[in-house]
Copies of this chain bind each other. A is one copy, B any other.
Amino acid sequence: MDRLIEAIEQTQNPSVVGLDPTEALVPPQVVASFADEVRDSVESDEEAPAAQLAVAYFEFNRAIIDAVADIVPAVKPQIAMYEALGPAGIDVYTMTCEYAAEQGLYVLGDVKRGDIGSTAAAYAHHLSGMNGWNPWHEDAVTVNPYLGCDGITPFVEAANAADKDIFVLVRTSNPSSSELQMLDLADGTKVYEHVADLVETWGSGSIGTHGYSRVGAVVGATHPEEGRALRARMPHTFFLVPGYGAQGGTAADVAGMFDDNGSGAIVNSSRGIIGAWKKSPQYSPDMSADDALALVADCARQAASDMRDNLRIAVYR
């Protein structure tokens, strides 16, 4: 986790921008501006809307990346938003990761993969690439623990070999996460605490110079008390904290997930940053696509800067 921790130190900003575009988050004139280009490139009319959105997502992401690259350490594209568009979306996901990496950002691929050992080994190519070629351009990926260590070990090995990281789901930010994660076990712990202990163990062989292993944990901002307890329970596990902003988590909520040195966690915000333009009085449906993208960029930079400042006050205490 050293590379991420150093990027956070350099920017003095423990936050990551979630690049999770949806049709509602991209100004409609930006999407419309690609109609001609796409019409000429697709094989059939019916795939044009998805292809057009895919191109628009990339331009949208690029505007945001350019706007925040000097003030944030990392971005976290959520692959589901791209998968929704089919293979054309996957292309744009990898293009987004590549572009962000080229701008010096740590790229956290939110893919939440997980499977049995031989299959997890295939997924681990997200980190290891193929024979030196790296089609995914991710520095880390998120992984699901439901299948146990068989599904984790191949990712850990790939992370070790490629100087990359993984983040395992422990306590997710969504309301129904409790249905499984909060169940009481016979030994007095809860399921997510047991998973937390497994994650701490899975990382024990890869602790870096800053004291954190390559196996991080996903801990939702919406669970401040549990997050604080997990911080103590998992001393060598770095946290990825989603759920800030639009999902309800505040800087005060996440403060307990950091260690005494103000390290140990990175907080994600997606809609609060990439959708900040929607709250701007300067937006008008009559704006040009270029002007709309410029507004997206300005608002994203302002929102990312505000989030950084709020986290600095709450965390670097």
Contacts and interface: CB of A to CB of B under 8 A. Distances in A.
Interface stretch (A139-147, A231-239, A254-262): A139-147
A96 to B, nearest CB: 12
A145 B180 contact: yes
Given A144-B146, A146-B169, A177-B148, A84 B123 contact: yes
Nearest to A133: B46
Given A86-B136, A123-B83, A172 B191 contact: no
Nearest to A220: B116
Interface string A98-133: 000000000000001111110110110110001111
Interface string A10-22: 0000000000101
Interface stretch (A26-34, A181-189, A306-314): A181-189
A85 interface: yes
A180 B151 contact: no
A177 B115 CA distance: 10
B112 A113 contact: yes
A50 B83 contact: no
Contacts of A177: 116, 147-148, 150
A94 B83 contact: no
A147 B87 CA distance: 26
A172 B186 contact: no
How many identical subunits does the complex contain?
2
Contacts of A90: 87, 90
Given A47-B135, A115-B80, A195 B174 contact: no
Nearest to A153: B176
Contacts of A191: 180, 183, 191
Contacts of A194: 180, 183
Contact of A185 (B49, B50, B185): B185
B122 A22 contact: yes
Contacts of A284: none
Contacts of A83: 122-123, 125-126
A202 to B, nearest CB: 10
A125 B180 contact: no
A178 interface: yes
A173 interface: yes
Interface of A: 20, 22, 46-47, 49-50, 78, 80-81, 83-88, 90-91, 94, 112-117, 119-120, 122-123, 125-126, 130-133, 135-136, 144-151, 169, 172-181, 183-187, 191, 194-195, 198, 242
5 contacts: A49-B133, A80-B119, A87-B90, A116-B173, A148-B175
Closest 3 CB pairs of A and B: A86-B135, A148-B176, A148-B179
